[in-house]
Structure 1
Amino acid sequence: MTRIAFLAAAGLAVSGCAGELQDFGREPRLSPVGSGLQAYREPVPVAAFPAVARPSEQSLWDPSRPNLFSNTRASKVGDIVTVRIAINDRATLDNASGRSREASGKTGLSLGFSLNGEGSSLSADGSADSTSKSNGKGSIDRSEKIELSIAAVVAEVLPNGNLLVSGSQEVRVNFEVRVLKIAGIVTPRDISPENTVPYDKIAEARISYGGRGRLTDVQQPAWGQRLYDAVTPY
């Protein structure tokens, strides 16, 4: 019986930390682009680049060359647009909460009886007190500043004409890799004549700036400490 109870408790503990163990040793995952609009939208698809038109041997016109009067802004699947990222945010939050409750009760009981002219009495008193109190306090002071550019590819043209774009960039320096990813939905009219768009014009934007390598591994706690934090209920 003790073994069954132990296995049941272990099962509950493992099920409670299943979400933590699923991402054990990984970076936080971003939700798919468009998840705020549709609950079950698939992840960003890979762009299917159209075939390049081949000029005729007898023609002087090459359709693969840019047209002097054509629009150079991204508009179809496979086109590239440059995203300008300039984030300079600061947030400060300070919250405090408190709760207190007290309860008390008192009871008394008295009994008396007599037998053959002789009497006797019995009395009892009882009291109960309870006190509950909790205090909580939390604060956040965060500052972020990122200025860079990244090229993104039009992965899909939505039915209303908006563009679903995604792009990534990796730079390796010694044993550390810097990884930048961006995805979101862009309105064609927000793209400038230079074929650039600011990040604050991207709807459902998903911006990830991080890295992997030896420095990132050293900055993280040891795997034993992370495993303990994931499974401990306190």
Structure 2
Amino acid sequence: MKFEQIKVGVVAGLLVLGGCSTAPQPRPGDARYSPVMPITHPVSERGAGSIYASGAGISLWEDQRARRIGDIITLFLDERTVSSKKNNTAIDKDDQVDMNIGSILGTNPNLKAGNSNLNMNVQTDNSRQFAGDAGSDQSNRLQGEISVTVADVLPNGVLVVRGEKWMTLSQGDEFIRIEGMLRPSDISPENTAQSTRLADARITYSGTGALADAQVQGWASRFFNTSWWPF
């Protein structure tokens, strides 16, 4: 009786551990994806009555594309991945041995065992076959737009951009998070760029709420589908 109680306790403990291993749900306001504010310098007082006023000039030839920390860039998401893999394996092997012992010194050696006569003749016939077939096809597509901010400027001029977009729906939230490195030359005069131009890109598209929970296995099902389940 004690052994049964211990076994039930061990199984219950493993189920609890399997349920506690779920990753925390993402939430809006993550500090990593918060906008980075540019460093502001104190503005000197403007002199009244002067023809030139400091800070009031407008450059007609200055490039307005993002290049400083805190500037905003609109990224066009056009991500598509397609992968296909197929393997076929076939093995066929046949073995046959036929050895007939005629006579030894003019006699045919045999051995009587009950009502049977045993001789030294040997005959074997073996056949082995194996066939394997595996295939995998996967396709993903993500399109949309998201505006991000410049989080840092590397010494070589490459911009580190990062941002997120949250959309609250009736049955939960959907969000897009993106970060990566972008060359200033890949930014158009309208401050837009393609997501395919991002280096070391990290793009996350997921959701929370009832719709997202319906696509996730329960904690007990996840335990029985992991390597912890011994059967």
Q: Quick check: 1:176 aligned with 2:172?
A: yes
Partner of 1:72: 64
After the TM superposition, which segments of 4 or more aligned residues of structure 1 sit over 3 Å from their partners? 24-27, 44-50, 57-63, 65-70, 89-94, 107-114, 118-122
Partner of 1:53: 41
Partner of 2:135: 138
Gap change, CA 1:68 and 1:221, over 3 Å in 2: same
TM-score normalised by the chain length of structure 2: 0.65
Partner of 2:124: 127
Report Cα offsets for 1:113-137 as digits up to 9, x if no partner.
78xxx98444142425241312213
Q: 1: CA distance between counterparts of 2:108 and 2:131?
A: 52
Q: 2: CA distance between counterparts of 1:48 and 1:143?
A: 31
1:67 Cα deviation from its structure 2 partner? 4.4
- What letter corresponds to residue 194 of structure 1 in structure 2? E
Q: Aligned residues: percent identity?
A: 24
Q: Quick check: 1:106 aligned with 2:76?
A: no
Partner of 1:41: none
Q: Which has the larger radius of gyration?
A: 2
Q: Quick check: 1:160 aligned with 2:162?
A: no
TM-score normalised by the chain length of structure 1: 0.64
Number of paired residues?
192
Q: Is the 8 A contact 1:45 1:156 kept in 2?
A: no
- What letter corresponds to residue 54 of structure 1 in structure 2? P
Extract unaligned runs of 5+ from structure 1: 1-20, 28-43
Report Cα offsets for 1:72-118 as digits up to 9, x if no partner.
2111222221112234x47474635131221314253749678xxx9
Q: Quick check: 1:186 aligned with 2:185?
A: no
Partner of 1:230: 226
Q: 2: CA distance between counterparts of 1:201 and 1:48?
A: 21
Q: 1: CA distance between counterparts of 2:213 and 2:205?
A: 16
1:182 Cα deviation from its structure 2 partner? 1.3
- What letter corresponds to residue 94 of structure 2 in structure 1? A
Q: Is the 8 A contact 2:35 2:163 kept in 1?
A: no
Partner of 1:11: none
Partner of 2:5: none
Q: 1: CA distance between counterparts of 2:125 and 2:108?
A: 31
Partner of 2:13: none
Q: Is the 8 A contact 1:82 1:195 kept in 2?
A: yes
| TM-align CA RMSD | 3.8
